[in-house]
Structure 1
Amino acid sequence: MFEFSAGRALKHLAVISRVPHAIHSPENAAVRDYIVRTLRELGLDPQIQQASVANRLGIRTAVENIVCRLKGSSQEKAVLFVAHYDSVPTGPGASDDGAAVAAFLESARALKTGPQLKRDIIFLFTDGEERGLLGATAFVAEHPWVHDAGVVLNFEARGIGGPSIMFETSNENGWLISNFGQAASHPVANSLSYEIYKRLPNNTDFTVFRKAGYSGLNFAYIDGLAYYHTSGDSIENIDAGSLQQHGDYVLEMARQFGNAASNDPRPANAVYFDVLGMFLVRYAQTTAIVVLVLTAVLLAFALYRGVRAGNLRVGASLLGVVAMIVGVALAVICAEGVSRIVYAIAGPGIRKGLMYHGGWYILAYSAIGLACAAALYVPVSKWIGSANLVAGILLGWLVVTIAVSVYFPGGAYLFLWPLLFSLIGWSTVFAKPQAQAKPGYILPALGALPALLLLIPMAHNIFSAFAAQSTMFVSVFAGLLLSLLIGSIGPETMPRRWMLPCLLGAAAVGLFAGAIVVSGS
């Protein structure tokens, strides 16, 4: 009884997302009344905030927010949960944002029947989010409870399924991330998403609170972008697992922040990332700088030992850097070029296939790009030697890591840890006597594991966020991943030098055939 049930939440969602319910519509009023009635049945005392707020055109618009409060045992700052109950006129809004509303109603039940928390829990159901964050704006401007909020947690959706991602935080997030990592049973979050999102023009209700100086976290699931703001955003299409994770987050965050010993002390920003949704790795940005410096020193020492052992040549290793840059660029150019050619030939008829089955196409294009890059590495490896090619690639990765550390400090982890683990493996190969310095499988594979664990989920998230427009970004990650693996799966480890490019080309053909079959395009 104290835990979240997606089954119970779906019963709420069936009512909330029955039909489209835009602001000021009778259908939206019916959803408002259902939320109020459900909260009262739980023994709570919901209030309706009636306010007038200027829309994008400067015209005053009436909004009706719903707010209720579960009293805690202390007078400390409250935890504020935010979701909007209106939908766009074109869809019933089962995911955007009915799932969050249903999750709040079910979580309110679980919290009401469970032990009392130290802090108050406030649930805010905003009106008019789809018209320009109107309800959140009115709440921050006028409602007295906003001053009681210590942490704001907003829940959204931009698709119909997939993992619920904690994709945005307020600045100086170290305390927030520490608590999130402690509480979340299946955390899905990374600081690169935070770095990217804060540079985008996108807005949610959380934007209003963040700009007003409140600290907090923003959650959303984003798989199935094609259904966003359409009639397909229905209860029939929603992923119940996404709803369950939304609800798990609500209860876990309520209990963690609701019993927190202190208010947010606003420490420096953290670097953080999940490992397959099992746990969250987190550390200070200053720690990241120290690890980066140590990695650079270790790489310099490994290259020095390689030159001393006769396995590396400075000029050849620098050519390896050029080969990596050209290889990644070639992967992107070929993938993007083929995608444009296919679209030009097939015309608008392929648009639906790209939208609803885009993953097949993106994988096919990426495989084509990788085949081209691998075809470049074959003669280069023969010309300068596999060890020099790998040394150049590691140097290239270091340059990429430093650049990302400067411009996207929270995103450097994506390149730092694969580089460090690869370096640990390859440094032993570089230092061997020349006759023994042959590419192996086990030690270089150390670098493959963090690269696979970090780059592939990030590529998936980028595809989920940008769908058919993600070819270039996904192929960049694919090209970088191939460059890091080329020493252990490249020409000198294959029975035939050209086997890898041929295998990747065959994979591209198979994936493209699969894309055509599943999409009917």
Structure 2
Amino acid sequence: MQLTSTLRQRKSGVAPCSNVRSDPAVDLDDRCTTSANGTVKTAPGKGAPPAKRMTQAGGFAVAFLWFVLLNLFALWARQRTPPFLPASAPPHIFSGQRALDRVAGLCGSFRYVGTLALHQATQELAKQVQELKELAEHFSKDRFVFEYDVQRVDGSFALNIRSFHDLLIAQSYESITNIAIRIYPRELGPDARTLVVNSHYDTAAGSPGCVDATAAIGTMMEMVSGLVHAYDDETCAQDPEHMKACAERQLTHPVVFLLNGAEEVFLVGAHGFVTKHPYMDATSLLLNLEASGASGPALLFRCGPGHGWMARTYAKAVPLPHASCASQDIMNLDLFPAETDHRVFVEYGGLSGFDIASYENGYVYHTKYDNLENAGRGFIQHLGETATSLMTELVGKNAAIEMNGMSDHRAQERMVFFDIFGLFTVVYSMQFAWYLNVATCLAVLAVVTMRTKRAVKGCSPPVHLLQCFFFGIALLLACAGTGSIAGLLLRYVARRPLAWYGLENEWLMIPLFAFPACTVLLVLVDAFVGARWSWILLNSCNKSLWSFALCVVPYLRRRISAWRTFLC
């Protein structure tokens, strides 16, 4: 009977289970099971019917096409910035060209603290501010007050750089110069809740600092000009849309523009303003503009502390958002070895604030290549429109700044925030994030359990789940280890640890890191693909886990690339 059954199976093209288990020449992917009535079934491996193999190949082709399309869309969204408006744009609308023209003359000199070039830059900016004041007096008609002050300040403080192993730096400074502009509605007065917009015009040693942060200074000067022109009744009345924009822009709360003269020497300019300037008395919120790259969209990388309402305000106000709470976690965990004026305003002024900066093309950061030629026009336009939209929402018609300092738990709770491909911003609470993460884990576990149970009837699903889990961890560690080994070889054998660094050499990351990792991945999968538990991984978990990965990977690549320059 046994021989007859075996011959019948061989005539029908099906190998008996005993041969599959005992003959090493038979691929384990052609494993079989025996049902209760003795019928032998073959699992869909290499011995699967041609139609089944074609269906699987078509599914992988569709998944690969989806993966490619999502990556192309993510690449487009990552580089998307608003059109660079020329100088001929209406004066109350932010123009990147006008912002750049205001500071183009400053981009050819190294303005380190104490240099003659920095002193000349202060004089040039003060001259432009005076011209804006005269323009404001023409348009004011007693509706708002425009005033400014050139501050020269001395002081000292200690700064703990936690990202450098708690390095404590004792700072003492003398004759540091700041230019502070204050604009407020005449009927309200200067003592209402005030927004301060801050950036710096000094540069790192040896760098012209055209983007870090002269471009942000030009952005602020253009914001001041646009705010003044919002009161130009004649120009605004020419078009209904212009009239509406001007009405929304007009102030309901004071705003201070701080042109900071000493940021690169460990934030002393901000300290001098926060501790000793009278404009600080009513200030309750910060909008800080920075740069650590020369192009790309401006990223909201820090928001808070107590930023529940601030994240919602950003989501509501900014038409082309680019934000990430993951970057905020990097800053809070001191993984990023740098700081901005935001810290001084928080620690010494007790404020909350927005921290916005560029990061693309960070190769020019703090180098002689941070010049006018490499200044990204799209970044300047995006930074200006983002800052203008936030300022309008906070101190314009909607007066969102009134929510600052509210005791309501919903306004002060920590939030998760991120943009979806620059189309809109997602904001939800940490409590909801906890529920969402737990529910997602349980749902994935349930789906994988059900598919595993159907794939191997009569076997223990928890065992196969653990096998799938540890196999996935092994693949992850193997790929990460391969990349680490490649880095060590570059460092100690080739003596070129940064061979991939630079815009012209970025492509080297593919052969140096991606190809070895993919090779190890394919070798491991091929080595275990015939095993029973890896067949379960590739067939049972395929639809539930790999489909999710194909959807999320392009978005994660965009997020990771936002900090690659910093962390490297």
TMscore range, shorter length: 0.7 to 0.9
Deviations 1:211-262 (A, max 9, x none): 1320111011122232211111111111111111111112111101113242
* CA–CA distance in structure 1, aligned partners of residues 195 and 155 of structure 2: 25
* CA–CA distance in structure 1, aligned partners of residues 93 and 547 of structure 2: 41
Distance 1:19 1:352, change over 3 A: farther
Runs of 4+ in 1 over 4 A off after TM superposition: 55-58, 350-353, 390-393
Deviation at 1:298, TM superposition (A): 1.9
Q: Give matches, 1:277-426, under 5 Å.
A: 277-311=422-456, 313-348=461-496, 351=498, 354-364=501-511, 365-384=513-532, 388-389=536-537, 426=544
Distance 1:8 1:311, change over 3 A: farther
* CA–CA distance in structure 2, aligned partners of residues 175 and 358 of structure 1: 42
Q: What residue in structure 2 maps to residue 45 of structure 1?
A: 147
Deviation at 1:281, TM superposition (A): 0.9
Distance 1:258 1:363, change over 3 A: farther
Deviation at 1:426, TM superposition (A): 2.2
Query: Does the aligned pair in 2 maintain the 1:359–1:463 contact within 8 Å?
Result: no
Aligned partner letter, 2:180: V
Q: 2:560 aligns with which of 456, 459, 462?
A: 459
Q: What is the SS of the residue equivalent to 1:45?
A: strand
Distance 1:299 1:226, change over 3 A: closer
Q: What residue in structure 2 maps to residue 247 of structure 1?
A: 384
Distance 1:245 1:331, change over 3 A: same
Query: Does the aligned pair in 1 maintain the 2:296–2:358 contact within 8 Å?
Result: yes
Deviation at 1:306, TM superposition (A): 2.9
Distance 1:448 1:356, change over 3 A: closer
Distance 1:257 1:339, change over 3 A: same
Instruction: Report the number of matched residues.
Output: 419
* CA–CA distance in structure 1, aligned partners of residues 125 and 345 of structure 2: 23
Q: What is the SS of the residue equivalent to 2:427?
A: strand
When you count helix as a share of all residues, which structure comes out higher?
Answer: 1
Aligned partner letter, 1:370: C
Q: What residue in structure 2 maps to residue 12 of structure 1?
A: 102
* CA–CA distance in structure 1, aligned partners of residues 109 and 529 of structure 2: 61
**TM-score, normalisation: structure 2:** 0.69
Query: Does the aligned pair in 1 maintain the 2:182–2:254 contact within 8 Å?
Result: yes
Q: Give matches, 1:64-463, under 5 Å.
A: 64-72=177-185, 74=188, 76-114=192-230, 115=246, 116-200=250-334, 201-212=337-348, 213-259=350-396, 260-261=399-400, 262-264=402-404, 265=406, 266-311=411-456, 313-348=461-496, 351=498, 354-364=501-511, 365-384=513-532, 388-389=536-537, 426=544, 445=547, 447-453=549-555, 455-463=556-564
* CA–CA distance in structure 2, aligned partners of residues 70 and 352 of structure 1: 50
- Percent of aligned pairs with the same amino acid: 21
* CA–CA distance in structure 2, aligned partners of residues 163 and 190 of structure 1: 12
Deviation at 1:366, TM superposition (A): 2.5
Deviations 1:466-500 (A, max 9, x none): 3xx3xxxxxxxxxxxxxxxxxxxxxxxxxxxxxxx
Aligned partner letter, 2:509: I
Deviation at 1:302, TM superposition (A): 2.2
Deviation at 1:171, TM superposition (A): 1.8
* CA–CA distance in structure 2, aligned partners of residues 462 and 370 of structure 1: 23
Q: Give matches, 1:459-498, under 5 Å.
A: 459-466=560-567, 469=568
Deviation at 1:147, TM superposition (A): 2.4
Q: What residue in structure 1 maps to residue 85 of structure 2?
A: none
Deviation at 1:310, TM superposition (A): 4.1
Aligned partner letter, 1:251: T
> Higher mean Cα deviation, 105-114 or 330-339?
330-339
Query: Does the aligned pair in 2 maintain the 1:13–1:235 contact within 8 Å?
Result: no
Aligned partner letter, 2:403: N
* CA–CA distance in structure 2, aligned partners of residues 392 and 132 of structure 1: 55
Query: Does the aligned pair in 2 maintain the 1:5–1:106 contact within 8 Å?
Result: yes
Query: Does the aligned pair in 1 maintain the 2:285–2:352 contact within 8 Å?
Result: yes
Deviations 1:358-412 (A, max 9, x none): 532333313321331232223334313566326997xxxxxxxxxxxxxxxxxxx
* CA–CA distance in structure 1, aligned partners of residues 445 and 294 of structure 2: 47
Deviations 1:311-363 (A, max 9, x none): 48332221111111111111111122123323444435x74652444532333
Query: Does the aligned pair in 1 maintain the 2:295–2:361 contact within 8 Å?
Result: yes
Q: What is the SS of the residue equivalent to 2:531?
A: helix
Query: Does the aligned pair in 1 maintain the 2:93–2:226 contact within 8 Å?
Result: yes
* CA–CA distance in structure 2, aligned partners of residues 356 and 344 of structure 1: 24
Deviations 1:19-40 (A, max 9, x none): 1111122111111111111122
* CA–CA distance in structure 2, aligned partners of residues 278 and 376 of structure 1: 39
**TM-score, normalisation: structure 1:** 0.75
Q: What is the SS of the residue equivalent to 2:417?
A: strand
* CA–CA distance in structure 2, aligned partners of residues 80 and 139 of structure 1: 11
Q: What is the SS of the residue equivalent to 1:367?
A: helix
Q: Which runs of 5+ in 1 are unaligned?
A: 394-421, 428-443, 470-521
Query: Does the aligned pair in 1 maintain the 2:471–2:534 contact within 8 Å?
Result: no
* CA–CA distance in structure 1, aligned partners of residues 441 and 547 of structure 2: 20
* CA–CA distance in structure 2, aligned partners of residues 83 and 353 of structure 1: 32
Distance 1:363 1:167, change over 3 A: farther
* CA–CA distance in structure 1, aligned partners of residues 566 and 208 of structure 2: 21
* CA–CA distance in structure 2, aligned partners of residues 263 and 8 of structure 1: 33
